[in-house]
Amino acid sequence: MLADIITPDLFASAVRIATPIALAAIGGTISERSGVVNIALEGMMLFGGFMGVIGTSFTGSPWFGLAVAVLSGMALALVHAFASITLRTDQVVSGTAINILALGLTGFLMEVIFGHPGTTDPIARLTPLFRFSGPTEGVVGTVWMWINGVVFSHTPIVYMAIIIAVVGQWALFNTRWGLRLRALGEHPRAADTVGINVTRGRYSAVIMSGALGGLAGANLTLEQVGSFTENMTNGRGFIALAANIFGHWTPVGSYLAALLFGFADALQIKLQLFRDIVKVPSQFFLMLPYVLTVIVLAGVVGRAVSPAAVGKPYEKG
């Protein structure tokens, strides 16, 4: 049975499942590094995923849908930025409002556009980027099956997420953008006194996180599922925030933490196939990521230090 569970597909599916969480978690990293809590990632993901489906179904091009998804995430992020930076609304409250707004907007538009609640019509999906053929026989065949399955079987956004994590990590610690971003979340006033525009820096960070949230949604709808279902993000935005904390507010850390969640989830899906042998109700498997999130938070938060000014609106003078 173990050989049936530990397959290339298990790891490939871990990477797939980790992708939306990782993208949203990196979005959370960028936003929180600038000093703005973004619990609206859930809503941005949802809205982005939905708008991606709309964009795809109107043009037939999932790539166009992807662009729409990213822009939609950014649009919601702009609302969050305006509320929490310009109006200095409580950031968690603003995020909650956006999550409810995304739920309402997607549900409402679904009924207006598709004429029914629930799930949208299926749309054209983004397909795996590579299609290699290789040896199938012997040890070489097995090795190739693993490499091909785990590394080369994925859709574009999965690779984008890895690139974003690595480039983001490098940029955070080596570029002007990264240094200033870190300064904003630690001590915005100090940044202000050396001529860094706090408002602009925070706006761009929040909008960037919205773009990543939208991309995460696009991964769900345009790559993983091929349609949109109401509230399909199912708490992934919140899990992403936990992943960000677990990853100590770094892009690669966020990605790896998301991978942990992805692996747990992939494992539970796999185990469900063996329901006859492992006699555990499916609901317990479905609970796993949420339980894991709580365990992660219980274990690490005491040691992880968040950016000092996170959650606090900045007032000049």
Partner 1 sequence: MATQRTEGSSSRVVAALRELAIPVVSVAIAMGIGSVIMMIAGFDPIAAYLAMLKGGFGGGRQIGETMLRATPLIFTGLAVAYGFRAGLFNIGAEGQLFMGGLSAAYLGIVLAGMPRPLNIVLMVVAGAAVGAAWAFIPALLKAKVGAHEVITTMMFSYIARYLVSWLVTGPLKAEGQIPQTNQLPVESTLQKLHELFPFLTPSRAHLGFLIAVGLALLMWALLKYTTLGYEARAVGFNPWASETAGISVPATTIKALCISGALAGLAGVTEVMGVHFRLFDQFSAGFGFTGIAVALLAKNNPIGVIAAAILFGALSAGGGTMQLEAEVPQKVILIIQALIIFLVAAEQISRWILGRTVRKEVENAG
Partner 2 sequence: MGPPLIEVREVTKVFPGVVANDRVSLSLHRGEIVALLGENGAGKSTLMNVVYGLLAADSGEILVEGKQVNIRSPRQAIDLGIGMVHQHFMLIEPLTVTENIVLGTEPTRAGVIDFKKAREDVREISSRYGLAIDPDAVVRDLPVGMQQRVEILKALYRGARVLILDEPTAVLTPQEVHELFAVVRSLVAEGLSVVFITHKLEEVLHVADRIVVMRDGRVVGETRPSDTDAAGLARMMVGREVVFRVEKTPQSCGGTVLEVKDLHVFDERRLEAVKGISLSVCAGEIVALAGVSGNGQTEFIEAITGLRKVESGTVLLKGRDITHAAARESIEAGVSHVPEDRLRRGLVVEFDLMENLILGDHRRAPFAKHGIFDFTAITEVSRRLLKDYDVRAPSESVKAGTLSGGNQQKLVLARELGRDPDLLVAAQPTRGLDVGAIEFVHEQILDERGRGKAVLLVSLELDEVQSLADRILIIYEGRIVKEFVAGEASDEELGYYMTGGGGDGAAAGAEGVITSDGNPAN
Nearer to partner 1 by C-beta: 131 or 303? Answer: 303
Nearer to partner 1 by C-beta: 56 or 91? Answer: 91
Total residues found in the chain within this entry: 317
d(CA 49, CA 240): 16
Joined together, the tokens standing for residue 3 give 């050989």
Among 15, 2, 4, residue whose Cα is nearest residue 149: 15
The entry of partner 2, partner 1, none that residue 241 binds, CB within 5 to 8 Å by partner kind: partner 1
d(CA 215, CA 115): 26
Residue 208 touching partner 2 (CB under 8 A): no
Joined together, the tokens standing for residue 54 give 């709309």
Residue 282 touching partner 2 (CB under 8 A): no
The entry of partner 1, partner 2, none that residue 74 binds, CB within 5 to 8 Å by partner kind: none
Nearer to partner 1 by C-beta: 145 or 297? Answer: 297
The entry of partner 2, partner 1, none that residue 218 binds, CB within 5 to 8 Å by partner kind: none
Nearer to partner 1 by C-beta: 36 or 66? Answer: 36
Terminal Cα-to-Cα distance of the chain (whole angstroms): 66
Residues 172-201 that bind partner 2 (CB under 8 A): 174-177, 179-180, 182-183, 186-187, 189-196
Q: Say how many C-beta atoms besides its own lie within 10 A of residue 6's C-beta.
A: 12
Nearer to partner 2 by C-beta: 133 or 193? Answer: 193
Contacts of 284 (CB under 8 A, 6+ apart): none
Phi, psi (deg, nearest 5) at residue 226: 90, 10
Query: Residue 313 CB, nearest distance to partner 2 (Å)?
Result: 17
d(CA 288, CA 284): 7
Torsion angle defined by CA atoms of residues 37, 29, 161 and 56, in that order, rounded to the nearest 10 degrees: 20
Residues 147-176 that bind partner 2 (CB under 8 A): 174-176
3-class DSSP state for residue 13?
Answer: helix
Which residues of this protein are in contact with partner 1, per CB under 8 A? Answer: 39, 79, 83, 87, 89-90, 92-94, 96-98, 100-101, 103-105, 107-109, 111-112, 117, 234-235, 238-239, 241-242, 281, 283-284, 286-287, 290-291, 293-294, 297-299, 301-302
Nearer to partner 2 by C-beta: 34 or 106? Answer: 34
Q: Which residues bind partner 2 (CB under 8 A)?
A: 174-177, 179-180, 182-183, 186-187, 189-196, 308, 316-317
